[in-house]
């Protein structure tokens, strides 16, 4: 695969994830995929802008409430229930676990009322865009397995109440699997911040 094909694939993945803005995508691709001068920066910026234009055009055909909107609502309800729920938490499970610890302490630690956590990371995001299946990592904030299983039950119940199909064997060692998501995260992130 040539450099332009590699870049186009990465652009598509990042634009459709709905998280990074144009500048962030440019930085990610130019710094993590290519050595200096391996890809024309002007071409890369034009391709990223075109990726956002195509996505925005398709958004007009999406339902008023997408699966991503429902996912956001579930994460909000989980937060209200004392479960720290993070979107796109790093790229790996280890990154996500680090993000959980960071946000837990930023939210006040033991004083926050948070007793559990739930997240998906960048590799999970790539998977759901490709397959429609989203894996969720979860657990008790203090690492207690029995309480972690209860957190898993609460998360599963919240997703099912929102109409999602969830597979899980009830074990702390198995991640929750939310099936059949059409990944449609609206909007073009604002570059002005």
Are 16 and 71 found together in one domain? no
Q: Flag whether 175 is in a domain.
A: yes
The H or E element spanning position 141 is none
- pLDDT of 184 higher than 70: yes
Tokens of 122: 């960048």
Number of folded domains in the chain?
A: 2
Percent residues over pLDDT 90 in the chain: 85
What confidence tier does 105 reach under pLDDT thresholds 50, 70, 90? very high
Are 168 and 77 found together in one domain? yes
What confidence tier does 192 reach under pLDDT thresholds 50, 70, 90? very low
What does the pLDDT look like over 128-138, one tens digit per residue? 999 999 999 99
pLDDT score of 30? 87
Are 102 and 169 found together in one domain? yes
Paired strand residues for 65? none
Tokens of 1: 């695969």
Are 172 and 88 found together in one domain? yes
- Angstrom distance (rounded) from CA 101 to CA 90: 12
Beta strands in 49-191 (DSSP E): 83-86, 116-119, 134-140, 165-167, 176-179
Are 92 and 170 found together in one domain? yes
User: Among residues 57, 52, 2, 1, which one has the least CA distance to residue 26?
Assistant: 52
Helix (H, G, I), strand (E, B) or coil at 126: helix
- pLDDT of 189 higher than 70: no
- pLDDT of 39 higher than 90: no
- Angstrom distance (rounded) from CA 175 to CA 30: 33
- pLDDT of 47 higher than 80: yes
What confidence tier does 38 reach under pLDDT thresholds 50, 70, 90? confident
> Residue 54: which domain range?
3-59
Are 130 and 171 found together in one domain? yes
User: Stretch 58-81: mean pLDDT, rounded?
Assistant: 96
Q: Let me know if 151 is exposed, middle or buried by CB neighbors in 10 A (0-12, 13-18, 19+).
A: buried
pLDDT score of 188? 53
Instruction: Scan for tokens 């898993």, then name that residue.
Output: 152
Reported pTM: 0.88
Q: Flag whether 189 is in a domain.
A: no
Q: Flag whether 184 is in a domain.
A: no
Percentages (nearest 5) of helix, strand, coil residues in the chain: 55, 10, 35
Paired strand residues for 165? 179
Are 107 and 79 found together in one domain? yes
């Amino acid at each position: 695969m040539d450099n332009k094909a590699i870049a186009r694939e990465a652009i598509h993945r990042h634009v459709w994830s709905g998280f990074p803005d144009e500048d962030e995508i440019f930085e990610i691709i130019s710094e993590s995929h290519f050595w200096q001068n391996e890809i024309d920066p002007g071409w890369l910026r034009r391709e990223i802008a075109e990726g956002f234009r195509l996505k925005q055009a398709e958004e007009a055909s999406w339902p008023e409430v997408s699966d991503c909107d429902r996912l956001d609502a579930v994460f909000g309800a989980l937060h209200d229930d004392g479960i720290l729920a993070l979107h796109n938490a790093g790229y790996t499970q280890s990154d996500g676990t680090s993000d959980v610890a960071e946000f837990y302490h930023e939210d006040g630690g033991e004083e926050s009322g948070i007793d559990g956590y739930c997240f998906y990371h960048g590799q999970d995001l790539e998977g759901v865009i490709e397959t429609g299946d989203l894996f969720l990592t979860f657990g008790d904030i203090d690492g207690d397995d029995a309480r972690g299983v209860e957190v898993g039950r609460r998360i599963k119940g919240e997703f099912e109440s929102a109409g999602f199909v969830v597979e899980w064997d009830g074990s702390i060692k198995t991640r929750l699997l939310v099936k059949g998501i059409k990944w449609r995260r609206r909007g073009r992130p604002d570059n002005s911040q």
